[in-house]
Chains A and B, each alone.
Chain A
Amino acid sequence: MNQHSLPLFEVFIRSKRGLDHRHVGSLHAEDPAQALDYARDVYLRRSEGVSVWVVRSSDITASQESDMASFCDPMDDKPYRHATHFKLPKEVDNM
């Protein structure tokens, strides 16, 4: 099998309940089902998670670095949009 012909998948793992799926890396596989199996072997060897997502890398639409100025800079002078003035109870530690 020629590895270069295998599509790339991005792997996301939810490490415990209440947390979001987090991007952990990528791998090659024939299709999503096989990618899920390999995600288990490549990224879950020490039982790090409760749920895994895989998605074809080519299905991700990513921003360009040059977009970021127009995406983010206008927010810099709007501090009222940041919820930094609230005190969070300790129980909500994964916010």
Chain B
Amino acid sequence: MDSQKKALLNYCIALGDDSLTLGHRLSEWCRNGPFLEEDLALTNVSLDFIGRARMLYSYAAEVEDQGRGEDDIAYLRDCREYRNFLINELPNGDFAFTMARQLMIDAFDVGFYKGLTQSADEMLAAIAAKAIKESRYHLRRSEDWIKRLGDGTDESHERTQKAFDQLWGYAAEMFEMASDEQQLVDAGIAVDRSALKAEWSSTMHSVLKEATLDIPAQDWAIGGGREGIHTEHLGYLLAELQYLQRTYPGQQW
């Protein structure tokens, strides 16, 4: 496999991993949502991300052409082979934490997938065209919730501020290019993520300001997801996600 093809494979898997881990986290809200309507809405968003992961993994399998399918990629890799940003794998915390994370990711996704619709790779451009519509809706939801929570009661304000304080340093890696990603940018296939930060910051500033929240200090950053270095939480997530395929290999339903 030539180096560009290998880079494309890694790229699709990394994007799929972002979607699958977050989709799985959001699915944990199913029947635990604060009320019925929000429970359904969160589950819809979860399904959007899982659907996105399936498209990206299927395409990865096609690029790789070694007989692996989407299920093999999702279920038969361990933590160190997962390439998602750490922010996606963090436990849900309370509702404020879930929505604060969602805002940070949705604001990123809208810029990212808008860029990816221009990809020279037709399949990635098509996946992005579907994803951008979903992400615009996700962002509308998370913006709305952060404004309600931040500018809500004392308790909701405090919890939301705490969530952003705990999450802020996880944003850095969203704008750091992986080692083999630049060649895809040069080929017009991938999006230059480092260029997305200004727009992301401006969205975050305006939403947090309206929500009467403070932008957390930029004094720590954690990364490593794209290199397969994860938090302790991913192992537990994968244990649940992969249990069935690990216990009954090849099981289908």
Residue in chain B with minimal CB distance to A31: B148
B residues in contact with A28, CB < 8 Å: 35-37
Bound CA–CA A83/B40 (angstroms): 44
Q: Is the CB of A37 within 8 A of B141?
A: yes
Assess whether A37 is in contact with B35, with CB atoms less than 8 Å apart: no
How many Cβ-Cβ contacts under 8 Å join chain A to chain B?
A: 32
Interface of B (DSSP majority class)? helix
| Interface size class, chain B | 10 to 19
Q: A51 on the interface (CB 8 Å rule)?
A: no
- Give the CA-CA distance A30 to B148 in the complex, in Å: 10
On whether the beta carbons of A34 and B40 are closer than 8 Å, the reply is: no
Instruction: Give complex CA distance A29, B148 in Å.
Output: 12
Distance (whole angstroms) from the CB of B49 to the closest CB of chain A: 15
Interface size class of A (residues with CB under 8 A): 10 to 19
Q: Which of B116-165 contact A (CB under 8 A)?
A: 137, 140-141, 144, 148
The reply to whether B36 and A41 contact each other, CB–CB distance below 8 Å, is no
Chain A interface (Cβ < 8 Å from any Cβ of B): 1, 3, 6, 27-30, 33-34, 37-38, 40-42, 45
Which B residues are closer than 8 A to A by beta carbons?
Answer: 34-38, 40-41, 44, 137, 140-141, 144, 148
